[in-house]
Amino acid sequence: VPESIPQDESRPVRVAIVGVGDVGSTFAYALLLSGLAAEIVLIDANRAKAEGEAMDLNHTVPFTHPTRIWAGDYTDCAGAAITVLTAGAKQKPGQSRLDCLQANARIWREIVPQIARHNPRGILLVATNPVDVLTYAALKLSGLPAARVLGSGTILDTARFRFLLSQHFGVDARSVHAYIIGEHGDSEVPAWSLANIAGMHLPDYCRAQGLPYEPEQMQKIFESTRDAAYHIIERKGATYYAVAAGLLRITQSILRHQNTVLSVSSLIEDYCGISDLCFSLPTVVDRGGIQRVLRLELDKTETAKLRHSAAVLRETIAALDLS
Ligand SMILES: NC(=O)c1ccc[n+]([C@@H]2O[C@H](COP(=O)([O-])OP(=O)(O)OC[C@H]3O[C@@H](n4cnc5c(N)ncnc54)[C@H](O)[C@@H]3O)[C@@H](O)[C@H]2O)c1
C-alpha cells in the first residue's frame, strides 16, 4: 500500500468536481451511474449551474445508487479522495488547446491553493486545457506531492487512436494496444513501435494475417486522432463523453487501487533527457495516484518527437508565472 492514502477508510468516498460545465457534469453523471462514489460535490463559479446540475443528478439517484450530491464550495473539498478540475474556458472553433492558457492559468491561481488548503491529503485530477501545462501549474500551486497531481493527458487521444485502429483492423478496440504520448495537443506522438494486436507489432500482425500494412493509412489514423477535437468542436461545439469516460477510468483505478496502465499526464523526471515537465506516458495509477511512469523502449524518431513535444510544453510553461 502506498504511503499517501488519499481517502480515510472510515468515511464515505467523496469526489469533488470543480467546474460543472459540459465535461464536469458529464463526468458527474458517469460517476453517479458507476456507483464508485458515495458523495459527489459540485463546485462552480456559476453557483446556479452547480445547483441545477445537483438537482438533476439527485433525481437520477432513485434509478442508480444511493449517493449524496450537492452544490458546494471549496471547504467541501475537505476529505475528498479526488478533486477533478474541469473549470475554465474551453476551445472555440479554430483555437488550439494552448490558446486557452492565460485565462485558465488565472483561474488556477485562484482555485488550486484553496483546494490544497482544504484537502492536503487528496488527489488532484486535471482535465482543463491545456491539460499538461495546467497539471504542472496545479502541482506547483498546490505544493502537493507529485504522485498526487495528475492530468487526463492523452488518455482521450489514446482512446481515439485505439478506436480508429480497431475500425481499420476489424478487432475490438480493447484488443488494440497502442498509446499516444507527450502533449495532449498538436505535438502529441503516436508510439507506433509499441503498438500491437495480440502481442504482434502492426506490420507483423498484417504479415501474419495476410493483410496489407499501409503506412499512409496509419498516418491518416494518427492525424484523425490528433485532430479529432477540432472536428468535433466544429460540429457540436465541445467534446465531453469520451473525456468523461476517461476521467471515470482514472477515478476507478485510484479508488479501487487497480494499478491500471493509463496514459495520464504527470511530473516527468529524467526521461530521455527531459525533466520538470508534465506530459503523458503509460503510467501505473493506483490508490496513491501516480505509482510509476513506465520507461518505454521508443525508436529514434519517436524519441525525437517526444523531445519536440516536451520543448513545446517547456516554452509554454516559461510564459507562466507560477510563483
Ligand atoms: N483533457 C481533455 O481531454 C479535455 C477534453 C475536453 C475538454 N477539455 C477541457 O475541459 C475544460 C472544460 O470544458 P467544458 O466543455 O466543460 O467547458 P464549459 O464552459 O462547458 O464549462 C466550464 C465550467 O467552468 C466554470 N468556471 C469558470 N471559471 C471558474 C472558476 N474560476 N471557478 C470555478 N468554476 C469556473 C464555468 O462556470 C463552467 O461551468 C476546457 O478547458 C476544455 O478544453 C479537456
Cβ(171)–Cβ(177) below 8 Å? no
| d(CA 87, ligand 1 centre) in Å | 4
Residues having CB within 6 Å of any atom of ligand 1: 18-24, 44-46, 49, 86-88, 90-91, 100, 107, 110-111, 127-129, 131, 152, 156, 184, 238-240, 243
Instruction: Quote the pLDDT of residue 173.
Output: 98
Q: What backbone phi and psi angles, to 5 degrees, belong to 60? A: -85, -20
184 labelled catalytic: yes
pLDDT at residue number 88:
94
Helix 155-169 to helix 215-226 angle, to the nearest 10 degrees? Answer: 140
Q: Tens digit of pLDDT for each residue in 29-84? A: 999 999 999 999 999 999 999 999 999 999 999 999 999 999 999 999 999 999 99
- Report angle CA 95, 136, 17 to the nearest 5 degrees: 75
CA torsion through residues 237, 149, 113, 119, sign: positive
| pLDDT digits 0-9 by tens, 217-234 | 999 999 999 999 999 999
Residue 129 CA: which ligand 1 atom is closest?
Answer: 41
pTM above 0.85, yes or no: yes
Average pLDDT of 242-259? 98
What is the number of the ligand 1 atom nearest to the C-alpha of 110? Answer: 31
- Tell me which of 65, 168, 184, 201 is the catalytic residue: 184
